[in-house]
Structure 1
Amino acid sequence: MKTKNILIPTDFSLDSLKAIPALLQQQPGQKFNITLVNFLGLSDSISELLMLSRRSREYEYVTQEFLNECTRLSREYSAQIEHLTTEFFYGNTVAVFKNYLEAREINQVARLKDHAYAKLTPLSYEPGTLLERSKCQVINLNPYVKPQPVKVKALHTEDELELQQV
């Protein structure tokens, strides 16, 4: 089975990572290269554009807690996740986004239903419109909720059972 390259929009919150187990649960047995991407528009400043390739300022928004959770998910789902990376997409046009998808050989985009992406910077934006206009296949996922053990109330206590046996 061929490994799928999946893009998952993120705001680097732990809630946005719920898309990963939801995707893996929806497509069991499939292997994935997952790219978590935050969307940033380009600045009008020529000096910022010249320094774009050397930017690391945005990576300050990727918390250690987020990275630890990514590592945990990679280990827990190692049978399905081959690579898990984080990136920033710089741009806001469909043509640039299509080039980005093609360069990374992205097969699908997976996103959480009704997830409100937090703006990390003044240039951050919600990727919904760009995804729709790019005509890339989008999988809408319900957030994964880890099943909780069911508590069962006993009908009888141990003492009552002993009395009934006598």
Structure 2
Amino acid sequence: MIQRVLIPTDFTVNSLRIVLEYLENSGNQQVELVLTCGYNLGESISFLLGFTLDDHLAEMQNGDFLKGCEIIKSRFKDKVVEMYADFMISKNRRYVRNYLKGCQIAHIVVPDTFEFQHTKNSFDVVELLKTTVLPNMPAITPVCMGEDGLQTQDTLDGFFFRKKWRFTYE
């Protein structure tokens, strides 16, 4: 059975380290990865009426981030069935419950130490998920990020190509 796993992101290449740590240290379970960022829509009615997920994702995801996702999918093609990005648009407890239930999230992966780069419209999904207590909440799986000095790097070659993986980029 394929499990859907929520992993927080800030749409930087560096945040893909969380995905790598999870995939490298988990079993052979096939997974769908939902890379989620907290995004505050604001209260402007014109903004709310014009909001489309695809437009905002295209604005926040840069080319290197998308290439990094493709590299991960290629490297872990037997494990990663699907990988896509999404926004969590509210800190409301009911919204979080409905989001997790509606997306059918089986596990939540959170890094032990990681500093996300927040924009003016984003919020910390990790803190929200750690502090929200819900009945039937998916299991939270912590991943150890280590102190390897990669925290400040945000380039593809910063850690993907130094691993000397053999893969094809499609």
* TM value normalised by structure 1: 0.79
Q: 1:138: which partner in 2? A: 140
Distance 2:19 2:163 in 1: 19
CA RMSD of aligned residues (A): 2.3
Q: 2:13: which partner in 1? A: 14
C-alpha deviation, 1:43, in angstroms: 0.6
- Taking a change above 3 Å as real, the CA distance of residues 78 and 119 of structure 1, as seen in their structure-2 partners, is same
Q: SS of 1:111's equivalent?
A: strand
1:128 aligns with 2:130: no
1:61-104 CA distance string (max 9 Å, x none): 20110000100110100011000111122112111111111111
C-alpha deviation, 1:58, in angstroms: 4.6
* TM value normalised by structure 2: 0.77
Equivalent residues of 1:24, 1:30 under 8 A apart: no
Larger Rg: 1
C-alpha deviation, 1:128, in angstroms: 2.8
Distance 2:53 2:37 in 1: 17
1:37 aligns with 2:36: yes
Q: 2:156: which partner in 1? A: none
Q: Which amino acid aligns with 2:42?
A: S
Taking every aligned residue pair, what percent have the same amino acid on both sides?
Answer: 20
Equivalent residues of 2:8, 2:126 under 8 A apart: no
- Taking a change above 3 Å as real, the CA distance of residues 55 and 5 of structure 1, as seen in their structure-2 partners, is closer
Q: 1:155: which partner in 2? A: none
Runs in 1 of length 4+ with deviation above 6 angstroms? 144-149
